[in-house]
Amino acid sequence: MYLITVFGNLLIILAVSSDSHLHTPMYFFLSNLSFVDICFTSTTIPKMLWNIQTQNKVITYEGCITQVYFFTLFVGLDDFLLMVMAYDRFVAICHPLHYKVIMSAQLCGLLVLVSWVINVLHSFLQTLMVLSLSFSREVIIPHYFCELKQLVQLACSDTFLNDMVMYFATVLLGGAPLAGILYSYSRIVSTICEISSAQGKYKAFSTCASHLSVVSLFYCMCLGVYLSSAATQSSHSSATALVMYTVVTPMLNPFIYSLRNKDIKTALK
């Protein structure tokens, strides 16, 4: 599954960069998402496979902190890029005549850059907060990778500040993209409803169907991870939910985009 994820997402990046028909904001963002997905799976899966292969489940403190940093970074980036893509669809459907002017190369670059800067700073902050905690010499992390929340719970020192920062970061950095996506889609739906011809409706909707599928998958998996960790105390089932989230979502994204999308199919051919 890891190989399929890397290969599928690489194909998307390759298709978008080599076919000039795909040099539009939507596909630039898509290839950014593919790049982030490759990095995202690469922070957890190779280490997990190595652990399984060698029957050795040890990770060093430095390795653990590094994993926390990159995992937080790429999850946040995934979320932000999905919001940027929703904004792109919103402009394309609600302001089609101004699309080329609004979604200029500068704005696209700026949106991607801002997403990176916010998430680099955020995961840097979270990692610094973890570094300030003290741990006993050996701790057992009931997971297959170092996850921020689990790690903080295992600290010996007071974690009040960490919990506060984590809480506000989740509300702000998780809530803002979700709000943006919901707003964009509410405007898209009301615009599509105003189109009189059924064919026009279908055409407008089909351009955002792939994105909508990816967004639904991302948030359903997030919700699944959240619910399963809240509902059961067993770390086994919440780990299962997390595997689904970290392996299956990035693997399915290229399929969703390439199977439903004529442009990508032609480019791949």
Ligand X SMILES: *[C@@H]1O[C@H](CO)[C@@H](O)[C@H](O)[C@H]1NC(C)=O
Least CB distance from residue 13 to ligand X, whole Å?
Answer: 6
What whole-number distance in Å separates Cα of residue 257 and Cα of residue 40? 18
What whole-number distance in Å separates Cα of residue 231 and Cα of residue 240? 14
Q: Which of 4, 59, 102, 112 binds ligand X (CB under 6 A)?
A: 112
Single out the segment in contact with ligand X by CB under 6 A; choices: 27-35, 157-165, 195-203, 255-263.
27-35
Least CB distance from residue 69 to ligand X, whole Å?
Answer: 21
Single out the segment in contact with ligand X by CB under 6 A; choices: 72-80, 104-112, 156-164, 223-231.
104-112
Please provide residue 195's backbone torsions phi and psi, each rounded to the nearest 5 degrees: -70, 130
Least CB distance from residue 17 to ligand X, whole Å?
Answer: 7
Least CB distance from residue 98 to ligand X, whole Å?
Answer: 18
Q: Which two tokens mark 247?
A: 């392996």
Helical H segments across 95-104, by residue range: 99-102
Q: Which of 12, 83, 92, 108 binds ligand X (CB under 6 A)?
A: 108
> If binding is defined by CB under 6 A, does position 28 make contact with ligand X?
yes
Write the binding mask 133 to 172 for ligand X: x where contact by CB under 6 A, - elsewhere. Answer: ----------------------------------------
Q: Which of 5, 9, 24, 31 binds ligand X (CB under 6 A)?
A: 31
What whole-number distance in Å separates Cα of residue 78 and Cα of residue 145? 19
Give yes or no for a contact between 113 and 80, defined as CB atoms under 8 angstroms apart. no
DSSP letter for each residue of 85-113: HHHHHHHHHHSGGGHHHHT-HHHHHHHHH
Give yes or no for a contact between 205 and 192, defined as CB atoms under 8 angstroms apart. yes
Least CB distance from residue 105 to ligand X, whole Å?
Answer: 7
What whole-number distance in Å separates Cα of residue 259 and Cα of residue 210? 9
Residues 35 to 74 in contact with ligand X, rule: CB under 6 A: 35
Residue corresponding to tokens 């060093």: 60
Residue ranges in contact with ligand X by CB under 6 A: 13, 28, 31-32, 35, 108-109, 112
